[in-house]
Copies of this chain bind each other. A is one copy, B any other.
Amino acid sequence: MDRDDRVETLSEAECLHLLRTVPIGRVVYTEHALPAVLPVAFEVAPDDRLILGLRAGSSLSRALDGTVAAFQADLLDPVSRSGWSVLVHGRAEVVRDEAEYRRLLRSGPQPWIGGGQQRMFVRITPELVSGRRLLTAGQTLHRA
């Protein structure tokens, strides 16, 4: 259909692959009963769960812990109007396991802000993963 000629729906595997190529995404949470969006450093673990790197004691970690969160990342080129956007929904929880925490301190994502301060990590277990690739005019869709 003409209206879809520049949008390609991505598979979950493609989404997770693309998420691994960028260091920062945006987490959506509720603050004062309103949706809030904040950029956050993250990584996709080998088991496909997202690990967000935060400062210890941030209000964001309190807002996220135990909730179903939305997490979005994209890579967009405003000139060619191409790129991709991926959205993940899943349960968020602060990493409390001591061994896991120590491992993440060594190799996990550095918080975007507060470098050098005490860190914490929030894990998001993906339940819904969706994404789309936006193609420039003249590009064709590659479907397996």
* Chain A interfacial positions (CB closer than 8 Å to B): 2-3, 6-7, 22-24, 26, 28, 34-39, 55, 57, 68, 70, 72, 74, 76, 78, 81, 83, 85, 87, 89, 110, 112-115, 117, 128, 134, 137
Contacts and interface: CB of A to CB of B under 8 A. Distances in A.
A70 B2 contact: no
A46 B43 CA distance: 39
A78 B28 contact: no
B37 A28 contact: yes
Nearest to A28: B35
Contacts of A117: 2-3
Contacts of A83: 39
A110 B81 CA distance: 10
17 contacts: A2-B117, A3-B117, A6-B113, A6-B115, A7-B113, A24-B78, A26-B37, A34-B70, A34-B89, A35-B35, A35-B70, A36-B70, A37-B37, A39-B74, A39-B85, A76-B112, A113-B134
A48 B78 CA distance: 22
Contacts of A22: 78
A74 to B, nearest CB: 6
Nearest to A30: B35
